Structure 1
């Protein structure tokens, strides 16, 4: 008995050792075989990070796994990844392993796989990577490889596959796919129980998403004949989102082509079942509803799929006399009718047709009817669509929950459009048939993207193939009112081809609040903290617009300015807002503006303006213009009138403040009746000029010219009178607000202080001195500059007059000259 136990233990030990050692011994030969087989058969860069063998995981079979598998194209697809798989595993029998050459794939397990199929504009495809060879070579290779497929288990986790066709601008995607299939082998035939889900099915054509956020599920009994590559569906249910469809039929893959013969049909003919087709992201809107009426969805796919040959497609969706009513709502949508078909015979995708021959719904006495057809979608889309009806948005909002969107008012109108895309591309608009008219009444809309309610008291639109004409629009948002009429042209290319929308309008308004309008649309940069109501933020001028507005606005508010009688032209083009000869009354004066405002991605707009301001009150200008506050702070203590002309450009912050270092330009300004009150600067020269002259300093009218260079100001010399004294002024102000200003005074002797006049009286020849030159240097930070006096010219003048005196005059005054000179110049 003891020997038996020892023998069994030895056998168990040997088996366990074999399970561990055998994969190690055979990993090298199999790795070599796999790499050799792949490299011989494909024209691509194939790599994998690891290759694993295990007898323990799939005993009595051998588990073979490739990790980090990638297939990257060559030639015209060089660098494009065709396949990227985290893990690809299968099982082969021990006999196949020890047999050396032949082995059969019995299972397939795929984890985290991405497949990118691509056809370029020339029709070449990136999955055609098999090396070309003769039929005899292919047969010999097949015989030599000894590799057979007899799948009984398939597991797929997180597979995403996309197909992109550059020539037709089409993208097809099956994303986040999971699949489980297990079966029983009967000769070459396997009977599968299949359970799968596509997390998102999407179809995009010409950058337009026709199918998105759609979930596909399938539960099926599938028969697979690997010998003939035939696959037939037994009892099968397909879910399109939550819509169940019975699926039957078969498909074949005899070579590199495929043949389909599939049928699907909604099992229950009711409207509620059909609503399950709505994407999951919108299913919450269908909670707590009651429906009546018949509805259905059915179709078939039949024919060959090879290169540009696609199978025939036939789908039909219908709704008959249905109603929709939300629980607790007093209103309902009734008489809902729909008949739509998507069809294509066997052949190219350009044979596809879409035809919604009838669509109808109504709320009480307000009906809506529509139809739509599309053909030749790939070569030259031909479309024919119409809409007519009345929509009472107030009642509609009571029937259908709209989250945070608020809609009220009545829309009554009709529109029909018929033509081909080629006519639009060639701008042959006479070949497009378009006609319609819409009336708005008591219309209100408010969305989370808007900071204010937008109201249309009344409005009328007329549409033809060339233009949309707005004959009258009486609208309001916030405190601003609009009376607008005009015309939009090029609208078909704008909506269908992303071309530029053109238009000309006349805008009239009794009052516009530009502070509100500049922040009408909510952006990611919108400040969420509490801010002042008059805060203004930079706004983005929309792209693809070429609009002209002739404006006549009686009153407006911008920043803190009250503006009257605005007249001029506003143009919107190339994401730029241009003002042309825009005249207005403001700050008790007049302003004329020519210039532009151009948006940037960083929301720091560029500007280029020519402004002419005529006789505005200086205190009001200081309160209203940040530029005056920055560069002329002394205006806060000033009274009088200011006129100026500025031609300057630069960049603005997000708060519409000028970035000083960006400023370039030139200009001039002049003043009338200028008076500076209680200036600390002039107070510092009271030792030379009588104090009563310096308390409220009067400055004669003058004109001064200056330049902006990178935010620095260079003030050219100009002359005026300050406190009745002739003065010449020039200087510079840096972008860091460092001031260097010189004022060369010619001070009248009678306006000098009593002490200075007494001192001069002792000097011989002083009777000839009626003007004293004094230079005032103002330097340092603009907000608190230092004032210093330069009396060198005054000293020279006194010395020259003294020298002219007679010997007797000098002898009489010699005793007092030294003391008085010290008093005068110290």
Structure 2
């Protein structure tokens, strides 16, 4: 008994040891087999992070897991990943682990695979990764070792959370299947079999020539297939196919006996209720179809038949027919009625360019306002030929009464009558005379009001005339808040802009009686943050930090080249009133260009040239030139906050300021200058400048007569300056201050720190009584009629410190009283020190 128990225990220990040891002993065997097989068959870079073998999970079968598998192409696709799989899990017979050949795989599970199929502009495909065969190898029979490397005895293939992306740069087509889950089960190694296939696609999208034809569409399929693996023919015996929620029936067969694929499939709707047709609406919009009543019928049917080889595609015929369709929301007063449609997509066997798309009829009505559309498209791949018309009158108030457009408020009437016929190649070549087109769109009391906007957009009236070449705007009036615009002129190349990412070009006349830039820069509402919702509201607390951080920087649209010849009577920017604006404003290359823009402001004239372009950081780049003529200094101080910060003395000044300035740099998100980024050159001049009750000049009361310092007159002057990284350097210049010759030089740095020097030549009679007393006791003082005096002004612009430099004064006194200097110099020095202590 003990002996039997001991034998059983030894067997258990050996088996457990084997189960533990086998994954370790044979792991490298599997890795070598996998890598060798892949490298022999693929012209690509194959990588995987790890390979794990488990005998416990599905004993007595072995489970092999390959993690982080990736396949990258070579040559022009060397940076593109063809396949990436987080985890590949397989089950195989345990005996396969003991063989370097004759390995079999019974089940495959792919976790989160991502397949990227790419076709380059030259037509090369990244999935063409098979190694080229030599003539000998191509004609030779497979060897026994080749045949025995792997044997597929599959019962199940499962794909979880997959993504398939297809991008064809040659034809400009993009297709995406996201959130794909699929499983195929059945004996896949017998000559014939029945396979159960189930799958779902969460998001199917298709775009061609930059136009999105399908998006946010879900697919679901449940199919039973009869399979003949000898002829590779798959016959659909049972099928349930859902496009979004629309049930379709798919029947027929697909055969792949060789390089050619033969297709014979039929598609049709299970029933013809118009309600089922609405199921084509993508799931993301399904909430809009709740409590909708419908009548009418709708049918979808199609046939795909023929073969596929190289660029030769099978024929297909897809029909959509809608008749007597009505639908109405339960809580809305209006009905969309008399909906009819007759749509055909047809192609014979052959090239895809033989496809024809025909909308023979598409009609709908709201009240008594009908809308009709017809369209025919031929040769969609090579050179699309189009022939279409749109005729309709849409009362937006009625439309809002029929559709739950809750996010926006629209009203007014759009009356359109448009048709076009021709080849798109003629549009691209701008051979518009070969294209037949005409049309007109009338706008009447159009109003657009959105929660995302701070102001309504109102078009009281307007007319747009369409031709293949251009759109003519005839008296298009637009009101946005207090601003009004009257636009006329021509916009061209709009077809290339809409369909080919071409550049929209235009020359427009813009007239306005008022443009309120304060409103327009805040037209888009700032998204409300959580802190905005929870912060307590305070009354009369002044601007909040969030308000001060308000983003006013704006992007200029791309693919636009439109010039506005402007005539604006009045405009407001901050507290600045600008009048009689004329000149050219151009929108091009994501820039705003100002060309010879003349205007009146601050009781003077201003001419502007320059450019503006936003950045990803909302710190716009600018390059401006200003020519300012006779701007009123008191008005500048009251109106412009920048003047108040750098020229506080202007608060009590009178006179005119002119300047010529060219500089560039960056603006903050609030459209304020970032000083350290500014670089440029310029000049400034004054006319009739008088500085009254200046704190700086009041500090000179110790040496000059105080009554002369109350109203300081400065003679007209012109000064040049250089701006480097926000630091302004003033080139020395000479003028007369209080009638006294004065040399001025200095700088203002990017931190608003002032460093100025005034060198006066002061007539003796202007010195104050204290200086007069000192001079009176100096022997030979009658020779002194004028003395130099230096004034240093340093510190923050708002509160600089004023100091005297009397070194030149002492030297002048020395020169004037050489004979008596020995006796009087010490006395003079002590007196001056005492005076300016």
Fold agreement, TM-score > 0.5: yes
Distance 1:179 1:768, change over 3 A: same
2:786 maps to 1:771: yes
Q: Which residue of 1 aligns with 2:745?
A: 730
**CA RMSD across the alignment:** 3.1
Q: CA deviation at 1:704?
A: 2.8
Q: Which residue of 2 aligns with 1:266?
A: 269
For 1:408, the equivalent position in structure 2 comes to 411
Alignment of 1:214-363 (within 5 A): 214-363=217-366
2:351 & 2:258 partners in 1: Cα distance?
20
Q: 1:115 to 1:668 in 2, by over 3 A?
A: closer
CA deviation vs aligned residue, 1:618-660 (integer Å, no higher than 9, x gap):
1211233355334433212322232333233332222221222
Which piece of structure 1 moves more, 279-288 or 114-123? 114-123
In the other structure, the counterpart of 1:41 is 41
Q: Which residue of 2 aligns with 1:428?
A: 431
Alignment partner of 1:703 is 2:718: yes
**Aligned with residue 392 of structure 2, among 385, 389, 393:** 389
1:817 to 1:248, Cα distance in 2 relative to 1, 3 A: closer
Counterpart check, 1:468 vs 2:483: no
Q: Deviations over 1:130-182 (max 9, x none)?
A: 34254553543587427444433222212222333332122233222112333
How far apart are the structure 1 equivalents of 2:464 and 2:185?
62
Counterpart of 1:547 in 2: which secondary structure? strand
Q: Which moved more, 1:408-417 or 1:253-262?
A: 253-262
> Contact 1:246/1:266 (CA < 8 Å) preserved in 2?
yes
CA apart distance, 1:470? 0.6
Equivalent residue, structure 2, for 1:789: 804
Q: 1:93 to 1:593 in 2, by over 3 A?
A: closer
Residues 430 and 469 in structure 2, CA contact (< 8 A), matched pair in contact too: no
In 1: Cα distance, 2:550 partner to 2:159 partner: 56
Partner residue of 2:535?
none
TM-aligned CA distance change 1:267 to 1:19, over 3 Å: same
- What are the within-5 Å matches in structure 2 for residues 43-58 of structure 1? 43-58=43-58
The answer (yes or no) to whether the contact 1:519–1:539 under 8 Å persists in 2 is no
Once residues 712 and 64 of structure 1 are traced to their aligned partners in structure 2, the CA distance between those partners, rounded to angstroms, is 69
Q: Decide which of 547, 566, 584 is 2:581's aligned counterpart.
A: 566
Give the conservation status (yes or no) of the 8 Å contact 1:263–1:299: yes
- SS in structure 2 opposite 1:799? helix
Sort the Cα spacing of 1:77 and 1:670 in 2 relative to 1 into closer, same or farther, 3 A: closer
Q: Among residues 518, 530, 541, which one is paired with 1:515 in the alignment?
A: 518
Between the aligned partners of 2:721 and 2:50, the Cα distance in structure 1 is 74
Helix, strand or coil at the partner of 1:654: coil
Give 1:697 deviation, angstroms. 2.4
**In structure 1, C-alpha distance between the alignment counterparts of 2:102 and 2:547, rounded to whole Å:** 81
Q: Which residue of 2 aligns with 1:118?
A: 118
Q: For residue 175 of structure 2, what is the aligned residue in structure 1?
A: 172
Corresponding residue to 1:755 among 765, 770, 777: 770
Cα offset for 1:384? 2.1
Q: Which runs of 5+ in 2 are unaligned?
A: 533-543
- Report the Cα offset of residue 753 of structure 1: 1.7
Would you say 1:682 and 2:697 are equivalent positions? yes
1:347-746 matched pairs, under 5 angstroms: 347-521=350-524, 537-746=552-761
Q: CA deviation at 1:26?
A: 5.2
In structure 2, the residue matched to 1:823 is 831
Distance apart, 1:532 and its partner CA: 6.4
- The question of whether the paired residues in 2 share the 8 Å contact of 1:250 and 1:261 is answered with yes
- The aligned runs of 1:68-147 (5 Å cut-off) are 68-93=68-93, 101-102=101-102, 104-131=104-131, 132=133, 134=137, 136-140=139-143, 144-145=147-148, 147=150
1:643/1:77 CA distance change after superposition, 3 Å? closer
> 1:760, 1:824 within 8 Å by CA — same for their partners in 2?
no
Distance 1:692 1:272, change over 3 A: same
Provide the secondary structure at the position in 1 that maps to 2:508.
strand
Report the more deviating stretch, 149-158 or 217-226: 149-158
Q: Is the 8 A contact 2:259 2:309 kept in 1?
A: yes
Q: Aligned partners of 1:818 and 1:170: how far apart in 2?
A: 95
Rate the CA distance shift 1:729–1:319 in 2: closer, same or farther, 3 A: same
Alpha-carbon displacement from aligned partner over 1:743-801 (angstroms, at most 9, x marks no partner): 22222222222232233333333233222222212223333222222223333333334
Which whole-Å CA distance do the structure 1 matches of 2:634 and 2:436 have between them?
A: 60
Q: 1:263 to 1:679 in 2, by over 3 A?
A: same
Shifted more, 230-239 versus 72-81: the winner is 72-81
Q: 1:86 to 1:743 in 2, by over 3 A?
A: closer
The answer to whether the 8 Å contact 1:534/1:560 transfers is: no
Are the counterparts in 2 of residues 494 and 500 from structure 1 also a CA contact under 8 Å? yes
Q: Could you tell me the TM-score, scaled by structure 2's length?
A: 0.90
> Number of residue pairs matched?
819
Query: For residues 194 and 826 of structure 2, what CA distance do their matches in structure 1 show?
Result: 127
Q: CA distance change for structure 1 residues 332 and 528 in 2, over 3 Å: closer, same or farther?
A: farther
Greater shift after overlay, 390-399 or 202-211?
Answer: 202-211
Answer yes or no: is the 8 Å Cα contact 1:343–1:353 preserved in 2: yes
The 8 Å contact of residues 482 and 516 in structure 2, kept in 1 or not, is answered as: yes
Residue 300 of structure 1 aligns to a residue in which SS? strand
Give yes or no for contact 2:42–2:129 (8 Å, CA) kept in 1.
yes
Conserved in 1, the CA contact under 8 Å of 2:787 and 2:809? yes
Q: Cα gap change, 1:645/1:63 in structure 2, threshold over 3 Å: closer, same or farther?
A: closer
Cα offsets for 1:290-334 (capped at 9, x unmatched): 111100212122222232222222211121110110111111110
Question: 1:474-510, CA deviations, whole angstroms, 9 ceiling, x for partnerless residues?
Answer: 2100111112211111222222221221111222212
Comparing 189-198 and 17-26, the one that deviates more: 17-26
Q: Deviations over 1:313-363 (max 9, x none)?
A: 221112111011011111111011111122222222222222111111110
**Runs of 5+ in structure 1 lacking a partner?**
none
- Preserved contact between residue 458 and residue 478 of structure 2 (Cα < 8 Å): yes
| Aligned mates of 1:536, 1:158 — CA distance in 2 | 40
Quote the Cα distance in structure 2 between the aligned partners of 1:221 and 1:371. 40
TM-aligned CA distance change 1:725 to 1:8, over 3 Å: closer
Q: Measure, in 2, the Cα distance between the counterparts of 1:735 and 1:11.
A: 87
d(CA) in 2 for partners of 1:460 and 1:51? 69
Question: What SS class does the counterpart of residue 701 from structure 2 fall into?
Answer: coil
Partner secondary structure for residue 87 of structure 1: strand
**Equivalent position SS for 1:395:** helix
Q: Could you list the per-position Cα deviations for residues 61-96 of structure 1 after superposition, in whole angstroms to 9, with x for gaps in the alignment?
A: 444443333333234433432222233334444566
Match of 1:124, SS? Answer: coil
- Check conservation: 2:550, 2:669, Cα contact below 8 A: no
SS in 2 for 1:628: helix
Deviation of 1:537 (Å): 1.8
Instruction: Report the alpha carbon displacement of residue 31 of structure 1 after superposing the two structures with TM.
Output: 4.6
CA contact (8 A) 1:387 1:416 kept: yes
**C-alpha distance in 2 between matches for 1:480 and 1:198:** 49
Q: Secondary structure at the match of 1:515?
A: helix
